[in-house]
Amino acid sequence: MRSPSSIAPTSALLSALLALPQLTAAFYLPGVAPTSYKPGDTVPLFVNSIKPVAAIDARVHSVLSYDYYDPRFKFCEPEGGPKYVSESLGSILFGDRIMTSPFTPKMAQNQTCMKLCSAKYDTESAHFVNGRISKGFALNWLVDGLPAGQDLFDPLTGTDFYSPGFALGQISAGEPDGITAFNNHYDIVIEYHKVRGHEDQLRVVGAVVQPYSKAYPSGEGELDCLDDGISAVVLSEDVDQTTDVTFTYSVYWKESPTAWATRWDKYLHVFDPKIHWFSLINSAVVVVFLTITVASVLFRALRKDIARYNRLDQISLDDFSGADSLEDGVQEDSGWKLVHGDVFRTPSHPLLLSVLLGNGAQLFAMTGFTICFALLGFLSPSNRGSLGTIAVFLYTLLSFVGGYVSARAYKSMNGEQWKMNIASTPLLVPGIVFSTFFILNLFLWANGAAGAVPFTTMLVIVAIWFIISVPLSVAGSWLGLRAKALEPPVRTNQIPRQIPPSTTYLKPIPSMLLVGILPFGAIFVELYFIMSSIWFSKIYYMFGFLFLCYGLMIITCAAVTILLVYFLLCAENYNWQWRAFLAAGMSAGYIFANALIYLISKLSLGGLSGTVLYIGYSALLSFLFFILTGSIGFFASWWFVRKIYGSIKID
């Protein structure tokens, strides 16, 4: 069997580069244009990796997936052996391993009780397969690019929908010991639609598979897969005992009024649409209320403060003859104006802060563009892995933005190690992410999981990183260092003033906990659906809700961080830079805590490898979210501080 690494990385790069100029050409990207078949033509049926879904207890019991032709499953192979189908980079990163199959459905021609092959399951294979059945693993097929699934009914919305994938086997819940049956017969129902004006041109618009377990009698006689009295296949785990299994399938064609352009609608099902609207409206109300509160408090207080400070600057020394005037003069030595000579002082560790800010700006732009592309329909689920491919592609191109922002911020902080800044911006955060990803990938390799990214694909990612991303970041840093530094509106004193003790809620930990929970609350419900789609192998497509939630999170993050910085300055604490970044980034801590709660409540991974992989990937995503939200909070606070100190007159 050929390794997927031999062809996948090259095709991934070519696919990404060829697709770029045509992103605005149509709703469906190149490679997913409609394919028409004539009656009797062979419709391609590909097989994908075998992935875990919810088991009988509605929990996911594994995060590992397996190749369809893993020797322990003993599935039938096509003549000449299975071959890997070209995939995009995003498809590989998300664990797809698509291969050819021995199934040969003929367009509009029913096929009944087609025999594939027979296999013998020894004790080891039987134990392995039965274990995967008990953990709720599902087969994933692709018919003309559509996932073959099961036809389900949602009583809440009263609609039928197709759920991608179908069970490897089933456990008889009514039996005292729960007999584990292995599915070896598949009824494949394929829906097709006639092209208007071309009756001999047919297109696939749906695919459903109903699996069965049938223990066919031994012998060379005719197989009767329609006999409902056949007992189920139970793989024996007894020592020195084998189980003979014969694989069969039937294909039934059904004409459908569904047009090819809307064939994905039945797969894109919202289980509870009201909760999305309720969450969105709730978040919007909270954000609007919070923003109005912050704006009103700040504008009223700041307008009064700025007017008083500017009025005091216009009073001459001759006017300070009365007691009232002296009291006004004393009032000047209070509030946020008192720290005007220290508020733009270089923070501690400016190099690290500038590097994180540059990568945060890069992530911010990448996330925004990716969601917009998805919102406009360019990332259709018919183009598998397009989301991951575009995200990697945009992150690489936007390295220029990261380098520019990092260098500009570092220069404004009066940093002197500009060579370290240029080198660290494209290497530090991507290096942490890649190293963590590589270590987690070792766990997948050690467990023989199909989700393990091939070594040559890793080399492609490293090549993209150093050949494209690093030079773009260096170019952005060069322009950022050549640009004029953002001069502070007030002068910085040579001697820093002493910071008085803070109240409890303004101390680092309490303030971070208070600020971080509000941005997390804006995306909490949508985050639940995203995690469910990742770990339960569902299709996530509600990018309209995600776009609005992303906007609400940005506004919330900026508003609460500005409010914190205002309170800090009023308390004569001028070390706002790191406090703003860490407080806004604390929402990532809530995301990681939520992932741990999800692990306890929705998953039951059992083994060490699965738990380490889940916690590792959750920590990695939380780290990136920390940089993203921290950068949003910092830049909002920086704008606010420059605005208020630029509005007062300082001698």
In the block, residue with structure tokens 């506004």: 555
In the block, residue with structure tokens 């309170």: 567
CA distance 115 to 59: 34
| DSSP type of residue 466 | I
- Which pLDDT does position 650 carry in this prediction? 64
Q: Which of 160-164, 430-434, 497-501 has the highest mean pLDDT?
A: 430-434
pLDDT in tens, 61-100: 888 899 999 999 999 999 989 999 988 898 898 888 999 9
- Which pLDDT does position 8 carry in this prediction? 41
Task: Place 123 in a pLDDT band, splitting at 50, 70 and 90.
Answer: very high
* Nearest by Cα to 31 from 49, 48, 18, 45: 18
Which one has a higher pLDDT value, 607 or 323?
607
pLDDT in tens, 191-219: 999 988 887 899 999 999 999 999 888 76
- Which pLDDT does position 21 carry in this prediction? 34
What number is the average pLDDT over the span 360-371? 96
Residue 18 pLDDT more than 60?
no
| Predicted structure pTM score | 0.86
| DSSP type of residue 42 | B
pLDDT in tens, 426-478: 999 999 999 999 999 998 898 888 888 999 999 999 999 999 999 999 999 99
* Nearest by Cα to 148 from 202, 108, 205: 205
pLDDT in tens, 319-349: 544 444 444 444 444 577 888 888 899 999 9
Contacts of 643 (CB under 8 A, 6+ apart): none
- Which pLDDT does position 221 carry in this prediction? 64
In the block, residue with structure tokens 């950022």: 480
| DSSP type of residue 405 | H
Give the three-class secondary structure for 261. helix
Give the three-class secondary structure for 98. coil
Distance of CA 389 to the CA centre of its chain: 12
Residue 318 pLDDT more than 50?
no
DSSP codes joined into one string, 338-390:
GGTTTTTSPPSSHHHHHHHHHHHHHHHHHHHHHHHHHHTTSS-TTSTTHHHHH
In the block, residue with structure tokens 């009944």: 112
What number is the average pLDDT over the span 499-507? 87
Mean of the per-residue pLDDT values for the chain? 84
CA distance 632 to 599: 29
- Could you tell me what percent of the chain has a pLDDT over 90? 50
- Which pLDDT does position 330 carry in this prediction? 42
Task: Place 19 in a pLDDT band, splitting at 50, 70 and 90.
Answer: very low
Residue 284 pLDDT more than 50?
yes
Residue 416 pLDDT more than 60?
yes
What number is the average pLDDT over the span 506-527? 90
Q: Which of 195-204, 328-337, 356-365, 540-549 has the highest mean pLDDT?
A: 356-365
